[in-house]
């Protein structure tokens, strides 16, 4: 692994960029990879969890506004910017050195459809009302979910920040010790309208929470949508549907949204 550059971020967390076997990676405070791009195809999503977070497209294929908490190297922001030309995106990142690394080493775009603000999501989100169609939460501290971004009050703020029929998408490390506690809070705030989706490598667990009760989620209809999305985005949406069926309750060909229906099969 060849280090390219190191910054010293807030709370003395190091921000390091490395390169190995054609992949450039971002590390925050250790060797764990927080974000990555393959230099030969920088607009593709290299890490499995970033691909899984895009599963929201099964339910909101044309969001007008996306809000994201946590930038990392900006791979998701870059993908959205390139592949969803009618979507505007705002990213809140607390660490200015992370933003600097994303712009200098990961090709993060800068135009009117993609705003990156140095801000604390824990303070900013609760002040928003009906601000986005999809809210992506991808923030960690030493490979654990940030406690301030996993409280019931914060999840309530996320719900209020969503527009009607909006989606909250939360990335967890699969072995997060408090995952069950955090999932229960999301289920309480969103009245059980929650689905769980593991990343393909099973390192992460993605939680999708619906602001409002959606129409019945027929698996056959999801499979049809997945085939179209797979052709459009070259992501394995068919695999996402299979994993959604396996990790959540299905009754008579429909996914059930109610408290406790999302199964913790990590």
Residues 6+ apart with CB under 8 A from 68: 76, 77, 89, 90, 91, 92, 135, 136, 137, 138
| Residue positions annotated with a catalytic role | 138
Task: Identify the residue whose tokens are 């099964």.
Answer: 58
Report CA torsion sign: 159, 161, 163, 169.
negative
Phi and psi at 38, nearest 5°, equal -90, 120
- Based on C-alpha coordinates, what's the Rg of the chain? 17
């Amino acid at each position: 692994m060849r280090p390219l550059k190191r910054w010293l971020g807030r709370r003395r967390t190091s921000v390091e960029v490395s390169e190995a076997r054609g992949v450039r990676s971002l590390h925050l405070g250790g060797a764990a990879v927080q974000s990555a791009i393959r230099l030969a195809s920088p607009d593709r999503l290299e890490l499995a969890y970033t691909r899984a977070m895009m599963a929201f497209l099964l339910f909101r294929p044309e969001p007008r506004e996306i809000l994201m908490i946590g930038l990392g190297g900006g791979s998701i922001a870059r993908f959205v910017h390139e592949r969803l030309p009618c979507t505007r995106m705002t990213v809140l990142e607390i660490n200015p050195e992370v933003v600097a690394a994303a712009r200098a080493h990961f090709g993060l775009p800068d135009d009117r459809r993609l705003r990156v603000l140095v801000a604390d999501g824990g303070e900013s989100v609760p002040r928003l009302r009906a601000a986005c169609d999809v809210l992506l939460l991808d923030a960690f501290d030493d490979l654990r979910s940030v406690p301030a971004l996993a409280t019931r009050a914060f999840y309530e703020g996320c719900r209020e920040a969503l527009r009607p029929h909006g989606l909250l998408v939360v990335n967890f490390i699969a072995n997060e010790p408090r995952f069950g506690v955090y999932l229960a809070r999301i289920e309480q705030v969103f009245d059980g309208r929650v689905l769980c989706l593991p990343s393909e490598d099973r390192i992460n667990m993605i939680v999708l929470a619906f602001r409002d009760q959606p129409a019945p989620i027929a698996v056959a209809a999801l499979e049809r949508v997945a085939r179209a999305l797979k052709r459009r985005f070259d992501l394995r949406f068919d695999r996402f549907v299979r994993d959604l069926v396996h990790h959540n309750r299905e009754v008579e060909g429909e996914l059930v949204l109610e408290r406790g229906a999302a199964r913790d099969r990590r």
